[in-house]
Structure formats: structure tokens, C-alpha cells
A and B are shown apart, each in its own frame.
Chain A
């Protein structure tokens, strides 16, 4: 029997796993997909929000600001890139200028540091490509950018190195508590018994919650379409540019990404299908027109991919992080929509505190706070790089030409804790296939490496697990 089972290996589940890995607990994570970071965590704006947007006094506001504060140390500990590039909420109508002041005041109440309202001259100095209609902006220097894949993967790896087990392709079908209050979790891969459950199931958090509670909740998948642009135009803006927020959210942003692309999105459409990540033609065109309202000369011809993600929207637009009233020892982390990525480390911390109150937690003596990231050879000097290649020649063999990713990095991604088993797994860990040719050239080469390193036949190699096989058999001559 386990002490804690966490359902979901997204950014929330992984943050909770890492937090709980500090203590002498038997913890495991169940994930229905083949890898960590396969749901909401993989398709979002990749932003570390400053925290001025959430309602004052809300849990969202508190955890956003706390998560933001934690990010510098966390990114160092986990060896992942993070940059405070600053956010700008841009006002393009004289008549809505007052709104900026409201946002500023909310930010102050939320304890966001360094906020300031700037006029159009200053704005234009900061961002030469800002729309000519811009009249003023709220500047938040603590806003930042991060890679959601790396944050999620790094927290999970670190948790795993500290003893948390992850079970993939494991979908929860039914949960019940027996007379001793022990939870039985039935999955497609057998039953797990545990004293505590953490529900971090993203858009499915309502389904999981409703398995054990009469007080039903509803999570609506809110789809957002995005476009990602070539690194060639990654410098079109240097800050994260937001419109003024509306009832549906923070609106369409334009931002550099931590790896130097430009991201534009998201739209916001409430849907029913919890797997409905299909992009929409009108969504993309809507996106482009909205982004153009705030940033001029957007080079939309440089789009290298478009995709859609789902936010786990709860009816009250608030995080639900607490023990379920009618189901003791079952802790929800539900409604984790934006600013969920930013808040994730703070959510982990908060869940840790819930456990501290319930249990007499004993800290592990040998808890490893840091995790070694996948080496980035392009950050090395030529001499260092040559030393590395001498020892491990695979680092001299470039596989993904667009992102300059070597065979050495891909081998590392496969063999590290919770290593990659699919093309997307390799992509999210190394960026191989993420560049302008979108895996056209490197897919066959990456397949060759996966085949060799994991002994997985070509026919069994998938894009992202399940039935997402890349090839469907041999050619006539090879049969």
C-alpha cells in the first residue's frame, strides 16, 4: 500500500510529487499518457505571470505571486532556463485607460513588485513594434518566460530521483474508499491502494473528484489556439505583450519564448471534449487579427506550427486546492488554469503544507534538491565542446539541424530518469523536431536512435504513445 497516489503527471502533479519527495513517504504518480507533460501543461503560453491579473485575495492571486517568487531558485535547482523579460499590458483605447489603473491597484493588493504605468513614449522605447494605437501600458518587470516542458519534466525527474515512482499509460477508472478509509484506485493496469490521493488530473480533475464526492464540480475545457513563429523573428517583441483582460481571460498575447521563438495566442473557446485539441480555421484567423491590434507588422508568414491547448476552467475561475469535504484524505488540485504553470511550485508547497498538518512528516536526510538538466552543448566554449566530443563523440553528431540538437543530447533524453520513449518525448526534452522544418529531416534519424537505444522496433515507435505509430509496416522488398 502507498502513502500517497498522485493522479496526473502534468505540471501540478509533478510539483506535488517533488514536494512530497522531500519526506519519508511512499508516493507514486499515475498518468494515463505515455509521458509526463501531455495535457494542459504541454500547450500553453509558457509564461511566468507577474500576478496582477488574478482577483485580489483569491488563491489564484496568492499562488501566482508565490510561484513567481519561487521561480528563480527553482530554475537554478532544476537546471532549466528562465528569464524575467517583463510583461506589458497594452491599452489601445483612450477610454479604457482607467482599466490599467485598476489592474495596477489589483497588482499592488496582490503584492506584485515593481509595477508601473508607462506612457506611450516610454512604451515605444521598450517595444518599437508596439501598435501605433497604443496609448499606455502596465509594466510588470517580474513577468517572465519559461519552457513548460522543461519545468514539468525537471520537477518529475527530480521527484523520481528522490524516490517517487511514475506509472504511465495508467488510466484511473474507478476510486472508492474501504471501511478503513483506504482508497482503492482501479486502473487499466491493476489496482493501487493508498492512504491519500492527490487529484491533479487537469481537465479530468472533475471526473476524478466526482468519483469520490457527492459535491460535484465541473471543469470545462477551454480551448486556445496558438501560433509559434520562427526564431528568425523571435525578437519582434522582447516583453510579453498582453491586451487588457476580459471576462474570458488575459486575451491574445505576443511573446518571445525562452528558446527564442515568438508565440502568439491563445483564443478562448469553451468546449465539451476533454481531448479536443484540434485547431480551428476561424480560431487561427481570429488570433492573428487580435494580435495585430497590439503589435504591428507581425510576421505571420513565419509561422512554423499552430496548435491548441485546453485550460482546465472551473466554473468559479478559482483554484480548488483542499481536502474534499465528504472524502477525507483526498486532496483536490482542480481548476488549475492560467496562471497554473506559474503557480505550480506554490501549489506543490501548499499541498505539502496540507500533508504537514495531517501527518507527522519526517524529512528525508538525503533529499536531492537539484537535478542535472540535459546538457546544452551550444552554451559551451569550443574547447569545452571538443573535450565533450572527444569523450562522447555522439555530441559531435547533429541530428536536428534546425535546433542544432546532437545525438548525445537525444541519448541522454532517452536514458535519464523517466526518459523519452517517443518522438514527442525526445522533442519535449531536447527540442529535436521543434524547429522550422518541424521534424521533417530528423524524425527518421531520431527513430533510428530510439530503435537502437531502447530496442524498440520501428513499427512500435510512436509519436506520443497509444496508437500514434509513425510507420505502418514494411515496404514490399523488406517484408
Chain B
């Protein structure tokens, strides 16, 4: 069996950045496994701009952003395998993978970085009533058809869900000559970034109907019409509010789900809110030497944050491989509690001895909050209280914890992150 110091599962933005950072931290022996025919992951089909404003201080397209990291991978001469599907990861870090050339092969890894990304919530999971004809696609599938294959999934479009890919596709399909009739969103707020609502819907006069859902799909062979209706506070459609749109296509952009089947099989413990692994300050899972970053860990809004997180995962994996992890007692693990409007935090635990001088804790909120405060408590003591103009579920938030401040707190047990009225 071949052995590597670090095997990175996935060659998208997270995997690339993690591999490069592990190499820069001094690990020679790294292998990246990618299931698609190119590196870059989902960014390859994201041909719109707006990537990299934080990382490179310029506006790049998805493929350009990915290429910046691919170049670094090539420069560092980090080996990678394309068209290679990882079939299994075991608790003792044996990776089983397969491709056309090598067949099924196994690799013993000292450390593994999970960077498999996420998938779209499928139509089936939404229990939409009606027929099941052709013409119902997740927004990402439509994006691939248009941007990679060069085909139009349809000409008259209704979109359910206002996730970012759906918003981007509303604009993309419009530019390609399709008519996007309406975007319906079940929740009273959009799941996407504000800038995408402005640039992809408002600029093209595409109506966004909040608190609406699809109540019927017509068409036995191909979609012929879609009926949407307003929903009440519990999400139930309100009779009499139905509006029927003739169309040939229904696109779905109803959320992303981290792809953790491999992680689960390996015994990695999951966070039930994010559907990603539970990780500590080093982005290490409950299994020693298995790290996670990017959308497999939690769904991000901006790829810049994926890169930043992946860099950290690469550094942590390198420390683990080189046996440079700071010795510390498990009993010193502190839980980070997300409550009062904060849905989760990543990481969800930390060890003060092992953390860097500063630790970024990322989270999302469960509703739209205007003029509210993000507060951090060390046990009972409030150490942070920042007023935010607006916070929304579609945008990630963060707080930065300072090691020295945590050290000052005697016998610290929990850190709490919450939203406060005042």
C-alpha cells in the first residue's frame, strides 16, 4: 500500500488551498484526489465575477480564482489525480479510491484533509406536489449545462429558492435570452447575498416573492406551468393566493448540503446544524489527523473565506504530521455555544493551549437582525458586544477570539456566541 503524509480529498478551492498551505508549512508528501476531470471544483462553472475581492483585492471569475490556486499547486509540484473517486475513508486513515488507470487502490495517510464540498438539496427532498416531468433542475445542474456544455435547459423559467446559485442563474439565463418570470422563496428573507439580489434580480426586473412556494407542477413530459402561492408563518400555502406561471423550466436553489458520506463512514462526528463535521480550533475532527475545510465543513457565502479556512486546515494537518501539535490535555477543551439567533459556530470547540494568537469563529444567524448586537461571553462574562447594522441568514458572520484574553479567564468552561437586543 502506498503511503502519503497528507491526502487531500477534493481539488476544489478548499482542497487546493489546503494542499498548498500544507506544503508551505513543510510537508513534502501530499496527494490531492479529485473526482472531476479538472481541478477547481464547482468554481469552473461559476463564470461570473465577484470572486477574490478579499483574497486578491480584485474581481475575478470563478475559473480565474481557481487558477490562482492551481498555479500555486503546480509551482509547488504537488501531485494530484483527476477523475479519481474516493470510495472509502477508514478510521485508521486508509483511503480507497478508483480511477480508469489505477483501478481500485489504497493509500495509507498520516493525515487526511476533507474538502469534498457540498451538493444541492434535490427536488425530491422538497416534496413539491405535481408531476415529475423533464425541465426541473437544480440551479447548479442548469449552470453546468449552460456554462460548461453550452446548452439551454429552458427558455421560460421559474426559480424556487433564492440561494446564490439560483440568483446567479436568474441573471445568466436572462443574458442568454431566456425569460425568468419569478423567483419564489419560502422564507421571509433571501438565502443569498444582498449583492446578488441587487445585481441578478433587481437590475433585470425579475420579481422576488418572499414567503412563497411552489404548490403545483404541470406537464407530463416537459414542464408546462408552475403554480406558486404565499405561505403562512408555518410555511403552509395560503389558499386563494395561487399564481400560475406558464414556463418550461423550474430551477431549484433551495440550499446546499455538505457531502459527508465518506466522513460519516469513517466515523467522523457531525454537527446536526451544519451537516458538516464537528471541528476544534485546528479544524480537526473527532478522529485525530482528519481535518475538514470549505463547504464540506459548513456552507460558505464567499470563496475567499473557504481559502482562508483551508489554509488553516493545511497548516494544522502539517503540524499534526510533523508532530508539532502542542501537547495539551483533552480536559482543557472548551465548548463554543451558539444560541439566541446564532445557529452554529465553526469551530465548535477550542483548546486555548493549541490555538493561535487569534482565532476566527464563523457563524450564521437564523433570521434577519437589524441593529442588533453580536455578543461573546466567557462563561458568565461578556467580553464582546458589537452592534451590527444588519445580519442575515445568507451571509456568514465572524468573531475573533484573542488567545491572551481567554488565558486570563480562570477555569474557562464555555464560550457563548449570541445575538442580543441591546
Contacts and interface: CB of A to CB of B under 8 A. Distances in A.
Contacts of B133: 463, 468
Contacts of B146: 475
Contact of A440 (B35, B129, B138): B138
A469 interface: yes
A408 to B, nearest CB: 10
B132 A438 contact: no
A307 interface: yes
Given A437-B120, A468-B222, A472-B152, A278 B177 contact: no
B229 to A, nearest CB: 10
Contacts of A444: 141, 144-145, 148-149
Contacts of A227: 127
B176 interface: yes
A389 to B, nearest CB: 4
Interface stretch (A121-129, A159-167, A279-287, A319-327): A279-287
Contacts of B237: 281
A380 to B, nearest CB: 9
B74 interface: no
Interface string A438-472: 11110110010000000000110011111111111
B213 to A, nearest CB: 10
A458 B101 CA distance: 28
B130 A303 contact: no
Contacts of A447: 149
A278 B83 CA distance: 38
B99 interface: yes
A477 B176 CA distance: 9
Contact of A458 (B138, B151, B248): B151
B127 A306 contact: yes
A108 interface: no
B273 interface: no
Contacts of B177: 476
B87 A440 contact: no
Q: Interface residue tally of chain B, by bracket? A: 35 or more
Given A305-B124, A437-B122, A440-B119, A386 B103 contact: yes
Contact of B103 (A304, A305, A389): A389
A385 B141 CA distance: 31
A210 to B, nearest CB: 23
Contact of A278 (B100, B104, B129, B248): B129
B124 A303 contact: yes
B191 interface: no
Given A304-B125, A438-B124, A471-B152, A463 B130 contact: no
B221 A278 contact: no
A470 B124 contact: no
B191 to A, nearest CB: 17
A95 interface: no
B194 interface: no
A398 B134 contact: no
Interface string B149-177: 11111110000000000000000000011
B362 interface: no
User: Which among A303, A470, A472 has the greatest number of chain B C-beta atoms within 10 A?
Assistant: A472
Interface string A278-308: 1111011000000000000000000111110
A464 to B, nearest CB: 7
A472 B153 contact: yes
Contacts of B125: 303-305
Contacts of A386: 103-104
A467 B154 CA distance: 13
Contact of A476 (B103, B129, B155, B176): B176
A404 B130 CA distance: 29
Contacts of A397: 83, 99-100
Contact of B151 (A275, A394, A473): A473
User: Which among A404, A440, A458 has the greatest number of chain B C-beta atoms within 10 A?
Assistant: A440
User: Which among B99, B104, B119, B177 has the greatest number of chain A C-beta atoms within 10 A?
Assistant: B104
A385 to B, nearest CB: 5
B123 interface: yes
Contacts of A463: 133-134, 221
A444 B152 CA distance: 12
A440 B150 contact: no
B217 interface: yes
Nearest to A465: B221
B122 A468 contact: no
A466 B221 contact: yes
A396 interface: yes
A397 B215 CA distance: 39
B98 interface: yes
B146 to A, nearest CB: 6
Nearest to A458: B151
B134 A469 contact: yes
Contacts of B100: 389, 393-394, 396-397
Contacts of B154: 472
Given A475-B152, A478-B150, A278 B120 contact: no
A390 interface: yes
B131 interface: yes
A276 to B, nearest CB: 9
Nearest to B124: A305
Contact of A462 (B98, B128, B134): B134
B221 A468 contact: yes
B85 interface: yes
Contacts of A307: 132
A281 B129 contact: yes
B314 interface: no
B123 A385 contact: no
A466 B152 CA distance: 19
Nearest to B178: A472
A473 B221 contact: no
A472 B149 contact: no
Nearest to A463: B134
B85 A401 contact: yes
Nearest to A438: B122
Contacts of B83: 397
Given A398-B98, A441-B141, A458-B149, 8 more contacts: A304-B124, A385-B104, A398-B85, A443-B141, A463-B221, A468-B221, A474-B150, A476-B177
| Across the A-B interface, the 6 shortest Cβ-Cβ residue pairs | A305-B124, A438-B122, A463-B134, A386-B103, A478-B150, A393-B100
21 contacts: A278-B216, A278-B217, A279-B127, A279-B130, A303-B127, A305-B122, A385-B103, A386-B103, A390-B103, A398-B85, A436-B119, A440-B138, A440-B141, A441-B141, A443-B137, A444-B145, A447-B149, A458-B151, A468-B222, A472-B155, A475-B146
